[in-house]
Chain A
Amino acid sequence: MSARPGFDGFRRPDGRVGVRNHVLIVPTVVCSAVVTERIAAAVANCVALPHLAGCGQLGPDMQVTHDTLAAYCRHPNVGAVLVVALGCEQVVAQMLAESARQAGKASAIVSIQGEGGTPKAIAKGQAIAADLARDLERVTRERFGAEELILSLKCGGSDYTSGLSANPALGRVADRLNALGGATVLGEIAEIMGAEHLLAARAVQPEVAGRLLRVIQRVESEAQALGLDIRGTQPSPGNIRGGLTTIEEKSLGATHKAGEDSPLTDVVPYAARIARRGLTVMDTPGLDVESVTGMVGGGAQVVVFTTGLGTPTGNPIAPVIKITGNARTAQTMADNTDLDVSGILSHTETIDSAAERLLAEILAVCSGKLTSAERLGHREFAIHRRNPTI
């Protein structure tokens, strides 16, 4: 691979580096979600963050919602933040705006009750968003080394090709990025089940391995407490049609995307800040959108998503790069695919060569090239819920 890989990104006041320069329009609560979408639709470079939570939540469930929204407000792919409140909800608009300010970003608040209804809140929000977007145009890209990146490692719609081609190729890139001083994050605890011994052996300290094993034990005991068989969802019906038989088989293939020798340096809660270089495991569920939402919240600026069957998932603020090792999917799902590595299984390309192309694609995307998910407007966002709404 080429020497000193780098990309053109955005230096933020808090020292972090972004790969996109969005104005983020954040609803505090589901009640203000439509207003955020109308504001974002009217102003270039604005993205809304519609979600279904923000009220009627208790304890840790409420905290996860607040912390995830605050993490997006601080994220380096975001240059400025407009918070849209209803006025009577649990999530506090001022606290979200303060998160953005602490990261050195311009921020503002519009309240629907305060403005006197939807049309007035939209009008005021659009005017503020236009000002924020104009100010962000002055921020220009600068050259950074790849070590500034936190890369989210994701797979979904897996089939037998995933563990044999796209995941090993992503694993080589992950090892390379970690060796350069960068960071990677792996989520989906249920999809580590059966492969945890391989990751635990790479932990920098026994304490880190212990935390990984405890998180996995918790997920298994949740299934046991409910008296349910995890086979109802893992592997998924599509996985089974594709030839995957058990969660252990799926996990062993999935874990290849975390490389072979990168040290496991940390295990963190959902959407918590990824603070260590090397490989971090994040406690996320296996549902694709909730998992990507959490890993981006943790600070990942870019996501590589391997798929066997093809999938559209994107994210509001981070580019999601789709890579498949299934030749048929590369054709049938071409509109949703960024990189075809099916040559690995047809023996026309080596894993190393595919990894080199993938790293080049990641750096191009981090320098501004749009992904398929971005071109198609895929901005899925779903905050993991730990409890039912009260």
Chain B
Amino acid sequence: MSAVIVITPRDNVATALEPLAAGRTIDAGGVAVTVREPIASGHKIALAKIAAGAEVVKYGSPIGTATVDIEAGAHVHVHNVASGRGRGDLPAGGVVS
């Protein structure tokens, strides 16, 4: 059983199915990725570099925007991804960056 699941080929993140230790290299749907930091089960890991402002894609659809450059193998979560929906705190049509 793989340590992570990649849901669609368009995705640039995978979901950990077990705790991932830093330094470990995992097989993510045929792509080898080295884990940069500890990632809890159920949390996401970047499969490739995601530049600040780029879409984070899971289930084949965007789930938000990277707020900083995210390196391959990094933990992808609320500290480096922002939602673009239901954001009354932003100007109308405001872009998260």
Which of A160, A193, A253, A346 is in CB contact (< 8 Å) with B86?
Answer: A193
Number of A-B residue pairs, CB cutoff 8 Å, is: 99
Residues on the B chain within 8 Å of A246, using CB? 63-64, 81-83, 85
User: What is the interface residue range for chain A against chain B?
Assistant: 35 or more
Chain A nearest CB: distance from B86 CB in Å?
3
Are B63 and A252 in touch, CB under 8 angstroms? yes
Are B86 and A249 in touch, CB under 8 angstroms? no
Q: How many residues of B contact A (CB 8 A)?
A: 32
Which of B17, B59, B81 is in CB contact (< 8 Å) with A253?
Answer: B59
Name B40-96 residues within 8 Å CB distance of A: 40-44, 56, 58-59, 61-64, 76-78, 81-90, 92
Which of B1, B82, B85 is in CB contact (< 8 Å) with A347?
Answer: B1
Residues on the A chain within 8 Å of B28, using CB? none
Known contacts A226-B88, A249-B58; can you find 19 more A-B pairs with CB under 8 A? A159-B42, A160-B15, A160-B42, A163-B59, A164-B7, A193-B85, A220-B85, A223-B86, A223-B87, A230-B87, A240-B77, A243-B41, A243-B44, A243-B77, A245-B56, A245-B83, A246-B81, A248-B63, A248-B83
Q: Which residues of A are interface residues toward B (Cβ below 8 A)?
A: 159-161, 163-164, 190, 193-195, 197-198, 219-220, 223-231, 234, 240, 242-243, 245-249, 252-253, 345-347
CA distance A247 to B84 in the complex (A): 9
Q: List 7 A-B contacts (CB under 8 A).
A: A229-B86, A229-B88, A246-B81, A247-B86, A248-B62, A248-B85, A345-B5
Smallest CB gap from B59: residue in A: A252
Which 10 pairs across A and B sit closest by C-beta, in order of nearness?
A: A230-B86, A243-B42, A160-B42, A246-B83, A249-B63, A224-B88, A229-B89, A246-B64, A223-B88, A243-B43
Which of B41, B58, B81, B88 is in CB contact (< 8 Å) with A225?
Answer: B88
CA distance A135 to B78 in the complex (A): 57
Residues on the A chain within 8 Å of B77, using CB? 240, 243, 245
Residues on the A chain within 8 Å of B87, using CB? 223-224, 229-231
